[in-house]
Amino acid sequence: MSDVIRFPHLIETTSQTAPALSEDIKMSDLYAAPAKTIGADSRTAAIDTVSDFIPRHSPLPETVTGWRNQELADLYRTQRILALAGITTKVDRGLTDEGDPWFVFMDSLNEVFVHFSRIDGRYLVTSLMQEKPVWGDSLHDLVSEFSKQVQPVAQTPGAGRNVVSIAGRSRNAVLIHPAAALAALVWSVYLMSDDLVAATPMVTADAPDAAAEAPTADLAGNLADNLANDLHILPEVSQKALQVLSDPEFTKQVADPYAGRDNSGAALQMAALSTGISMKAVGLSLSLVALSVGLPLLETSEDAESDTAQNQLSIAQLYTLITRAKEAALSVLIATQDKQQQHASQTEHLIDDIRAQDAVDPTDDTQNIETSAEFAELVHSIATSYETEVQTILALKQAAAARQPQQAETDAASADNAAGPEAAAAPAQTVSTLKPVHDTSLADNSFLLRFDTAFESFTLTSLDVIAQTELAELMTVNTTTADIIAPLTTPHVATNKFDAFDQEARMFLDFLLRTYSDIKVVSLPTEIIFIHVDAFELADVDHPIYAKSWSFDDGGVISTIGLKSDMAQFDLIA
Amino acid sequence: MLDNKALIADPSAANPRADLGVWLKSLREAAGLSQRQLATLLSLDYYTFISQLENGRGKIPANRYLDWANALNQEPRSFVKTLLSHYDPVTYGILFDETNPDAAAK
């Protein structure tokens, strides 16, 4: 999935490379000027109008040997996540006589069960579950290739019925951290191998022998401090599952399938226990990640034995319900006037659905996992998180309104202002505090329909949808729905006057792009907007979201949306 | 960075296959083969497997013992016997341990 949201451009433009943060930068350098000569492939030209400030990874030089630091970090993090899920693995790595690297995961018996390597610049993964290695252009590319090519080996007649793979309808539905996907791949291999499951010792939360090989308190504490970083890469849905499933009250009511297993006493596992994180929950999260990226899973015998008819729910159902909760919360809250009321109603429906399915469908053929009435809390938790997400949107809307109050007044006083809002005088204010508020004046459904139609050719994830909706609002404050599309289709010279784009602004953008990996860049006809997506999750009362814009002499605008604290570091806050 | 040492296989720890890896490497080098050339001779999909074995990780599949012996110019029975002594010392001991009267008699 691209990190760049490309808005449609009706004007043909020349393809040119943006002089990223170079000296004497001008807006005309960032935006492609109307083309004097249209290229042979106009679609290509339009795509190239996206000024890409995102640092790109250059192709791996032929002379590079060994793993990159980031690749090693991801591989070791995979091992730690597996440990959190209760799987003890050992790893080893080395170089061939030509300098090509390899990295293996081994079970407790020191038998290799996954082999990663890079040969002549191409990556491969092979495992006990594969007849042939899977090749890809990167470690993370292997995940998608693996999901396409590898199906579980049918070890017993009828085993295939327990395979769950919902790649077709879930791919890209959830934003997956690459390292999480990598961990899910190894987890998938683990689950697909009965021999591995049987041979690999796992620890239990209340194992009496846990102290026998327990690490020191200091070590466990240090390790626990790092767990948050590892768990942070799991998608939000999985983290919500972690929160609910790790609740002691929940785990008490659910039989632990790992109970009674041997305890290897690994330090990481002890650290995980010290944080109260349920290994079962981590495993479930990995399963969710695996499913969401299309990796196959096979049920473990432990799950099958410990299931009860009353407390069964397939992973496919779970994932579907979580996705429904997310989508329903978003669509209801964005598209209706009384968002909170309908959101609550929708959530109740979902909970009713879950309970109904729990009661009448205990014999699903797909992989079964345990659940209980507390699963409803999971859906509540997820729905609530997206309510917060939408409130953030509303806060942004209000910020947009506050951004151009004078313009709004001008529009109200001059109904025949054919030039649109951008032609009106703009205020000097450039920074706005975004406070969560409940805005009851949401755009109506017709607006959404019109807007969706304009972007129907784009495949956007939920965050992208949020961005596109909000950015449209930023561009069309206090306009009628008929005007919504106009700024995107009509080239014009904006007259917004913000602070001039100067060296400080340049340094801040440079900082933003170098510091965060999740910066979305939206290119509009006369504005480029840099959105620090993770800021919406990091934001709280002490760390509010701010917006900041700079203008150029030629009318172009560069805007950023991110944490106030970051902007304060560069003295951008008035 | 989280302390990985706890779970990283310690190459200095007792690993019966480490010695075997060194031995396999010496055989390959004696045969004048690079790792990639040996992998080609054995029709392996990825030559990094050779390096992995020579580092004492993993093992040669039993159905390829003969191919490996031939590629490394080794007498098959002796070659497999050496492999077995590292891969499955218990079985090897039962079969070939000279202190075992039953094994020694055979």
Q: What is the pLDDT of residues A442-453, one digit of tens each?
A: 444 443 344 334
pLDDT of residue A238: 53
Across the interface, whether the CB atoms of B35 and A94 are under 8 A apart is answered: no
Selected for mutation to probe chain B from A96, A122, A230 (highest B CB count within 10 Å) is: A96
pLDDT of residue B25: 96
pLDDT of residue A366: 39
Alpha helices in A48-192 (DSSP H): 69-84, 141-149, 167-170, 178-192
Q: Assign A416 a pLDDT band (cuts: 50, 70, 90).
A: very low
pLDDT of residue A343: 54
pTM: 0.44
Task: With a cut of 60, say whether residue A200 has pLDDT above it.
Answer: no
pLDDT of residue A213: 39
Q: Is the Cα dihedral A96, A99, A103, A108 positive or negative?
A: positive
Looking at per-residue pLDDT, the higher value among A210 and B49 belongs to B49
Task: With a cut of 50, say whether residue A261 has pLDDT above it.
Answer: no
Of the candidates B23, B94, B11, the residue with the CA atom closest to the CA atom of residue B54: B23
Looking at per-residue pLDDT, the higher value among A572 and A425 belongs to A572
Q: Assign A190 a pLDDT band (cuts: 50, 70, 90).
A: confident
How close does chain B come to A563, measured CA to CA in Å?
Answer: 26
Task: With a cut of 50, say whether residue A417 has pLDDT above it.
Answer: no
Q: Which residues of A touch B58 (CB under 8 A)?
A: 104, 111-112, 115
Q: Are A244 and A191 in contact (CB under 8 A)?
A: no
Q: Which residues of B touch A94 (CB under 8 A)?
A: 51-52, 55, 57
Q: Where are the beta strands (DSSP E) in A435-526?
A: 499-500, 519-523
Of the candidates A228, A229, A179, the residue with the CA atom closest to the CA atom of residue A187: A179
Q: Hey, is the C-beta of A135 within 8 angstroms of any chain B C-beta?
A: no
How far lies B45's CA from each of A220, A352, A363, A550, B37, in Å? 41, 52, 42, 55, 12
Per mean pLDDT, which range of A94-103, A308-317, A354-363, A396-405 is the poorest?
A: A308-317
Residue A379 makes CB contacts below 8 A (sequence gap 6+) with A321, A322, A325, A347, A350, A351, A354
The distance of Cα A215 from the centroid of its chain, to the nearest Å, equals 34
Long-range contacts of A509-516 (CB under 8 A, 24+ apart): A509/A21, A509/A53, A509/A558, A509/A560, A510/A21, A511/A566, A511/A569, A511/A570, A512/A560, A512/A562, A512/A566, A513/A53, A513/A54, A513/A55, A514/A55, A515/A566
CB atoms within 10 A of CB A117: 26
Q: How many CA atoms lie within 13 A of A169 on its CB side?
A: 9
Q: Which residue of A has its CA nearest to B15?
A: A110
How close does chain A come to B1, measured CA to CA in Å?
Answer: 8
The identity of residue B2, as a single letter, is: L
pLDDT of residue A295: 63
Separation CA A519–CA A535 (nearest Å): 10
Separation CA A130–CA A149 (nearest Å): 9
Task: With a cut of 80, say whether residue A429 has pLDDT above it.
Answer: no
Across the interface, whether the CB atoms of A76 and B52 are under 8 A apart is answered: no
Looking at per-residue pLDDT, the higher value among A357 and A548 belongs to A548
Separation CA A472–CA A525 (nearest Å): 12
Task: With a cut of 50, say whether residue A411 has pLDDT above it.
Answer: no
Across the interface, whether the CB atoms of A94 and B52 are under 8 A apart is answered: yes
Question: Which residues, in sequence order, are bridge partners of residue A5?
Answer: A522
- Which residue shows structure tokens 């399915």? A357
Mean pLDDT (whole number) for A120-127: 92
Please report the DSSP string for A509-546 in residue order: HHHHHHH-S-EEEEE-SSEEEEEETTHHHH--SSS-EE
Mean pLDDT (whole number) for A567-572: 80
Point out the residues of chain B with pLDDT beneath 70.
1-14, 98-106
pLDDT of residue B26: 96
Measure CB to CB from residue A117 to each of B7, B11, B48 and give the nearest one. B48
Across the interface, whether the CB atoms of B52 and A112 are under 8 A apart is answered: yes
pLDDT of residue A236: 54
pLDDT of residue A421: 40
